[in-house]
C-alpha cells in the first residue's frame, strides 16, 4: 500500500507537469498564430475602410474581435479541459496499477505460505533430531555398557558381592564408551582439596563459585570438584529410526516360525 501511495503521488506530479508543459506550448503557438492573423486582418480592414469598402472593413474588424475573444476566453476553457484530462489519465493509471498489484498479491501470498510451511517442516525435523540427540549418549551407554539395564534392576534381590562384580563390569564398559566418544578431561587439572586462584577473566560456565563469594576476582579458594569437559565430541551416527523415544530396541531371537492365524 505504501508503494501504491508513492506511485500515485509521483504519477500525479509527472502528469501535472507534462500537461502544463503541453498546455503552454500549444497556447503559445496558437497565440502567436492568432496574433499574426489578427494583425493581417486589421491591416486588411483598415485598407478596406480607406477604399470605402465599409462592409468588408466591418466584417474584417468582427473577425479580429472574435480572434481576440478566443484568446481571452479560449485559454481558460482549454486549461480546464487539460486539467480534467490529466486527472482522468491519472485515475486510469492508478486503477490499472492497483489491479496489477492485486493480481500479484495472491502469488506472493502462496509463496509466503509455501515458505512458512517449509520452515515449519524444518523446525519439526530439527526438534525431532534434538530429541533423538538427547537420548543418543544414553543409547550408546546402554548398547556397550548396559547402563539402563543396571538402573532398572532391583538391587535388593542380589548380594553385595554380586552387585560389586556387576558394577565393576558396567563401570569398565561405560568408561570405554565415554573415552571413545567424549574423552572427558578435568576442567581444572588439580587435586581436589588444593588451594587455587580464580583469575579475573574466568568462565562462569566452566567454574562454579560457592561459599563466601564477595567482591571482584581474582579469588582464592579450595577446589572441591575438578569438573569435567569433553576433549572431543565424536558421537556415533544417528540411526535411521525416527522414533525419538527409543533408547535401545528390543532384541528377539527367532527360534521358529509362528503358526499363522486362520
Which residues lie closer than 8 Å to 54 by C-beta, 6 or more apart? 48
The answer as to whether 158 is a domain residue is: no
Name, of 75-89, 110-124, 237-251, the range with top average pLDDT. Answer: 75-89
Domain shared by 117 and 195, yes or no: no
Domain shared by 190 and 110, yes or no: no
Residue 30 sits in which domain range? Answer: 2-121
Q: Which of 121, 145, 161 is the last residue of a domain?
A: 121
Name, of 96-110, 168-182, 233-247, the range with top average pLDDT. Answer: 168-182
Residue 139 burial class via C-beta count within 10 angstroms: exposed 0-12, middle 13-18, buried 19 and up: buried
Domain shared by 109 and 192, yes or no: no
* pLDDT for 1 beyond 60: no
Q: pLDDT tens-digit profile of 9-19?
A: 787 788 888 88
**List of E strands, the chain:** 184-186, 195-198, 219-222, 228-230
CB count in 10 Å sphere of residue 219: 18
pLDDT value of position 47: 67
- Check if the beta carbon of residue 238 is closer than 8 Å to that of residue 258: no
Mean pLDDT for the chain overall: 77
- What is the pTM assigned to this prediction? 0.45
Q: Half-sphere exposure of 221 toward its Cβ, with a 13 Å CA cutoff?
A: 18
The answer as to whether 249 is a domain residue is: no
Cα-Cα-Cα-Cα dihedral sign, residues 221, 222, 224, 225: positive
The answer as to whether 242 is a domain residue is: no
104 backbone φψ class: left, alpha, beta (φ>0; ψ -120 to 50): alpha
Domain shared by 24 and 111, yes or no: yes
Pairing mode, strands 219-222 and 195-198: antiparallel
Residue 145 burial class via C-beta count within 10 angstroms: exposed 0-12, middle 13-18, buried 19 and up: buried
Query: When comparing pLDDT for 124 and 224, which is higher?
Result: 224
The pLDDT confidence band at residue 199, using thresholds 50, 70 and 90, is very high
Q: pLDDT tens-digit profile of 19-51?
A: 888 878 877 777 777 666 666 666 666 666 666
Domain shared by 100 and 199, yes or no: no
The total number of structural domains that make up the chain = 2
pLDDT value of position 227: 92
Which residues lie closer than 8 Å to 61 by C-beta, 6 or more apart? 42, 45
In whole angstroms, how far apart are CA 140 and each of 134, 175, 239, 260, 261?
11, 11, 11, 37, 38
The answer as to whether 43 is a domain residue is: yes
pLDDT value of position 206: 92
The mean pLDDT value for 1-11 works out to: 71
pLDDT value of position 224: 93
- Check if the beta carbon of residue 219 is closer than 8 Å to that of residue 227: no
- Check if the beta carbon of residue 68 is closer than 8 Å to that of residue 31: no
Q: Half-sphere exposure of 48 toward its Cβ, with a 13 Å CA cutoff?
A: 15
Q: Which of 76, 92, 121 is the last residue of a domain?
A: 121
Domain shared by 7 and 88, yes or no: yes
The answer as to whether 155 is a domain residue is: no
The answer as to whether 81 is a domain residue is: yes
- What letter would DSSP give residue 22? H
The answer as to whether 152 is a domain residue is: no
Q: Which of 121, 136, 170 is the last residue of a domain?
A: 121
Name, of 52-56, 155-159, 244-248, the range with top average pLDDT. Answer: 155-159
Name, of 58-62, 204-208, 255-259, the range with top average pLDDT. Answer: 204-208
The answer as to whether 79 is a domain residue is: yes
- Check if the beta carbon of residue 34 is closer than 8 Å to that of residue 67: yes
Amino acid at each position: 500500500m505504501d508503494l501504491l501511495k508513492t506511485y500515485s503521488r509521483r504519477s500525479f506530479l509527472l502528469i501535472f507537469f507534462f500537461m502544463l508543459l503541453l498546455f503552454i506550448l500549444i497556447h503559445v503557438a496558437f497565440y502567436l498564430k492568432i496574433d499574426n492573423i489578427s494583425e493581417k486582418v486589421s491591416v486588411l480592414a483598415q485598407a478596406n475602410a480607406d477604399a470605402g469598402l465599409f462592409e468588408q472593413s466591418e466584417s474584417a474588424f468582427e473577425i479580429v474581435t472574435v480572434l481576440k475573444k478566443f484568446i481571452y476566453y479560449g485559454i481558460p476553457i482549454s486549461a480546464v479541459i487539460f486539467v480534467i484530462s490529466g486527472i482522468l489519465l491519472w485515475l486510469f493509471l492508478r486503477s490499472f496499477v492497483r489491479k496489477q498489484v492485486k493480481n500479484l498479491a495472491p502469488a506472493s501470498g502462496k509463496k509466503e505460505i509455501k515458505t512458512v510451511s517449509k520452515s515449519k517442516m524444518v523446525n519439526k525435523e530439527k526438534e525431532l533430531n534434538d530429541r533423538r540427540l538427547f537420548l543418543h549418549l544414553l543409547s550408546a551407554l546402554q548398547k556397550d555398557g548396559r547402563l539402563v539395564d543396571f538402573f532398572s534392576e532391583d538391587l535388593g534381590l542380589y548380594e553385595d558381592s554380586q552387585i560389586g562384580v556387576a558394577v565393576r563390569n558396567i563401570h569398565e564398559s561405560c568408561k570405554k564408551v565415554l573415552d571413545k566418544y567424549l574423552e572427558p578431561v578435568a576442567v581444572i587439572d588439580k587435586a581436589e582439596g588444593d588451594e587455587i586462584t580464580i583469575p579475573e577473566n574466568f568462565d562462569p560456565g566452566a567454574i562454579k563459585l560457592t561459599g563466601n563469594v564477595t567482591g571482584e576476582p581474582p579469588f582464592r579458594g579450595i577446589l572441591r570438584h575438578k569438573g569435567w569437559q569433553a576433549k572431543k565430541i565424536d558421537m556415533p551416527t544417528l540411526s535411521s529410526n525416527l522414533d525419538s523415544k527409543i533408547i535401545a530396541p528390543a532384541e528377539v531371537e527367532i527360534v521358529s516360525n509362528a503358526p499363522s492365524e486362520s
